[in-house]
Each structure stands twice: as structure tokens, then as C-alpha cells.
Amino acid sequence: MTVSSAIDLFKSTPVKIGLLLNPMSGKVRKREQAIRQTLAQIPNAMMCEATDLAGFITATDTLIHDSPDILVIIAGDGTSHAVLSHLFSILPIAQWPALMIVPGGTTNMTPLDLGMRGKPEKILQRLVHCLQHPDNSELFQHVQRPVLCIEQNGRQTIYGMFFAAGLVARGVKFSRSSVKQIGITGSIFTFLIMLRSLIGLIFSHDNKEWAPVKMSIVRENGEKVHGTYLFTLISALDCLLLNLRPYWGKELAPLHVTWVDQQRKHLWRSLWPLLKGQGERLSAEDGYHSHNSHVLTIQMNDEYIVDGELYRSPDNGPLRITATPPVTFLVL
């Protein structure tokens, strides 16, 4: 859906709403009763629930078949990632409903970057208010973001907002096992994962589970680099968790790309500018690389994550990462 058509949504009533709820998402589990009470107040809505990939696909198909004007996802980044991937496989963007992602997961990196802040039930209450009082529809903002399109020969195309390999992916893998089971969400969860990643950095030479990633990278201009890197990340988001901005490219392109060499220099004094987008003071000669791009090709035989979901790239063909046309998100 385009921005102009999204803006026109509330000029005609009733607005059809599709609701996809993942009751196992981190914040949803903690606030389920309040969330369900608010969802019951949304007029002219169809709701589906799902907790795994097959369920997300079935629920999305059911809701899209009802032709909603707005598809509201109350879940975390993993659920949003699954829905985006499926939508791209079944519909051209121009035929999508407007998307609204309510931060109901553990980290919620995508909705926070879009500007969707607050407790899930409070956001949904604002949605109810806007639907009941169309004159207040100016409370909506319309944010556009491209989406990463990740292609590999013989594999289904993956779509998401954030790709990472190396120590970042190892930290997320750790979070999906030990920490996530405790039920911690939000900034505390993110801090623990970052702390564990730093510990992994210190001991990476002695611990294969936290080893850097070996990869070859082909940039948009054809330049080829090959090496071992602490981490590599590619993002369509302006900022990451805890308002981190670990990229500093100046090119007019939609994808933010950063990688850090294993044999980097001055890591500890470089951490703050690296994480806060002040990396222009860092140099490629010291092992710090960042640029914006339309396309990037990566060859590796290792694990990587997309929006918190773990994948593995066997060494039988490169990953080609491009940016889709912008997707329209509604933000309250």
C-alpha cells in the first residue's frame, strides 16, 4: 500500500482490520489478558492466532483472503519476519494492506525503529480510539522502509529487516536458548545478550562457539574482500536495539552494511563510536568498514540470523542481499 492510500484509509468507514496474535511472544505472554481485552474492542476485525512458521503462513493467508485495510501483527521480530516473507511470496507490494507491528515480542527491534513505542495494550487502545473517532486519524504516522531480500540458489528467498553473522549471530543464538527461557524482555534482555557477546569476544580464540566468521564479500562496485570478521551486519533499519547505530556510510543507498576485521586495532576505545554511528573517526586500515549499498553478495559456510531467526548458509553458493521497494507501515 502506498502512503497516499494509507492516509485515505480513515476517510471512509468502516476500516477492515486483520489481527495476527502470537500468544507465545515475550511481552504478549506477560500482558495477555490486557491485550485480549483490548483486541475484543476493535471493531470490524478478524483475528487469527499462531505460534510457529506454519501457523503464521496459514493465519496470514486467512487474513489476506478477507482483504483487510490494515494488518496488525501483535508479536515480536520473528513473527513479523515470517509474515513479511510470506507476503512477498504471494502478493505484489501494491496489493498489501497497510502493516502495523505492535511490539509484543522479546526485543521488538523493527517496531521500535519505526517509532512504535509503549505497552502493547496501550498501543491497541489508541488504535481502538482512532477507529471509533476517524477525525483523530492524524495520530497515525506513515513510515516507509525497504526490506532485505536474501537469495541463495536452491533456497527459498528470505525477507527481513536485519541480517547478522559472526559474534552478533552467536549472541542471538545464545539468547534463544538460555536467557529467553527466563522470560526477560526489553532492554534488560538486550543488555544481557550484548554482555554475553562481549564475553564471547574476549574468549573467541579459545571457544569455537564464539568464533569469528570467515566470508568473502563482493560490494556493489565489484570490489571483492575476503577475510575473518568479528561480525558482519546488514540492516534496513535506521537504528537497532538500545538506539545503537553501528554504521556510518554516506552513500545514498537503502542498506546499511558494517563489518569489523578479526585483526582490528584499538577495539575497546573504538566500541563507543562503532555502536553510536560515529565511526567516521574509524578507519578501514584499522579494520572497521561501513557503507550503504543497494546490493551485497556474501559467500560463507556459517550461521547467520535474520530478525532473530537462525539460518545456515552452506558453502555451495553466495547469498545475494538486495533491498525491496519501500513497505508502508502505520505507526501510532
Query: What pLDDT, on the 0 to 100 scale, is given for residue 10?
Result: 61
pLDDT top residue among 215 and 179: 215
For residue 186, pLDDT beyond 50: no
The per-residue pLDDT for 58 is: 97
The predicted structure's pLDDT at residue 68: 94
Contacts of 110 (CB under 8 A, 6+ apart): 77, 80, 101, 161, 162, 237, 307
The answer, yes or no, to whether residue 67 has pLDDT greater than 80, is: yes
Residue 132: per-residue pLDDT = 83
pLDDT (tens digit per residue) in 121-154: 999 999 998 888 777 666 678 899 999 999 998 8
pLDDT of residue 119: 93
Specify the pairing of strand 224-235 against strand 162-166. Answer: antiparallel
Cis peptide before 254 (omega within 30 of 0): no
Q: What burial class does residue 58 get, using C-beta atoms within 10 Å of its C-beta: 0-12 exposed, 13-18 middle, 19+ buried?
A: middle
Query: Per-residue pLDDT for 46 more than 80?
Result: yes
d(CA 150, CA 159): 6
What confidence score (pLDDT) does residue 3 get?
52
Higher pLDDT, 202 or 262: 262
Which one is predicted more confidently, 171 or 229? 229
Domain with CATH 3.40.50.10330 in the chain: 3-146
CB 153 within 8 A of CB 316: yes
Q: Which residue has the cell 510470506?
A: 86
> Which range has the worst mean pLDDT, 21-25, 54-58, 215-219, 285-289?
285-289
Per-residue pLDDT of 83-96, as tens digits, reads 999 999 999 999 99
Q: Is the pLDDT of residue 176 over 80?
A: no
Of 329, 326, 304, 296, nearest to 80 by C-alpha is 329
State the chain's mean pLDDT as an integer.
Answer: 85
The answer to whether residues 58 and 50 touch, using CB atoms and an 8 Å cutoff, is yes
> Which of 6 and 283 is assigned the larger pLDDT?
283
Full strand arrangement of the beta sheet holding 141-145: 45-49, 17-21, 70-75, 98-103, 327-331, 141-145
**What dotted CATH number matches 162-306?**
2.60.200
What kind of fold does domain 3-146 have according to CATH?
Rossmann fold (3.40.50)
pLDDT at residue number 183: 52
- Which strand (E) or helix (H) includes residue 308? none
Angle at 29 between CA 25 and CA 32, to 5 degrees: 120
Cα gap 165→167, rounded to integer Å: 7
pTM for this model (two decimals): 0.88
Grid cell at residue 124: 491497541
Q: What is the pLDDT of residues 212-229, one digit of tens each?
A: 899 999 999 999 999 999
Domain with CATH 2.60.200 in the chain: 162-306
The fraction of the chain above a pLDDT of 90, given in percent, is 57
